[in-house]
Amino acid sequence: MPRSMLQPTTTTPLDGLWVLLVDNGGELATQDADGRVPVMARAGNDQTYLLVFKNVVKARQFVATQDLDGAEPRMVVRGNREDIVRIAKSAGVVGTLLDYDPSTQQYASSRALA
């Protein structure tokens, strides 16, 4: 098939990153079809951020240091991106924190939620 006939795909800064999905447990009004929400954190500036990780290893390292029963690392792709962003925005998320380390409270980068 000629390249010009392929449907263009748009990527966002979230594509290819990993989030952690946890059981909502009725905390948020918005969740995915399986009742899960991505892990978010409130920063010292009282803003809420979506925690994202550059790979599954970093995501699992975070889970290992936290008490997150049933947390499931999930790569952000076109098929789930809309749900993740919708849930995050409904929770007041303003941006993302990449590779957050709770022991040092450091992260690799931060960006606005697209």
DSSP string, 43-109: -TTS-EEEEEBSSHHHHHHHHHHS--TT-EEEE--HHHHHHHHHHHHHTTEEEEEES-BTTTTB-SE
- 3-class secondary-structure state, position 9: coil
Residue-wise pLDDT for 72-100, tens only, equals: 999 999 999 999 999 999 999 999 999 99
Domain range enclosing 91 = 10-101
pLDDT tens-place string over residues 15-37: 999 999 999 999 999 999 999 99
Total of domains in the chain: 1
Whether residue 23 is contained in a domain is answered as yes
Kindly state whether residue 111 falls inside one of the protein's structural domains.
Answer: no
The SS3 of residue 13 is coil
- How far is 76 from 52, CA to CA, in rounded Å? 9
**Residue 66 maps to a domain:** yes
- Give a yes or no: residue 2 inside a domain: no
* pLDDT of amino acid 79: 94
pTM reported for the whole predicted model = 0.87
Residue 74 lies in a domain: yes
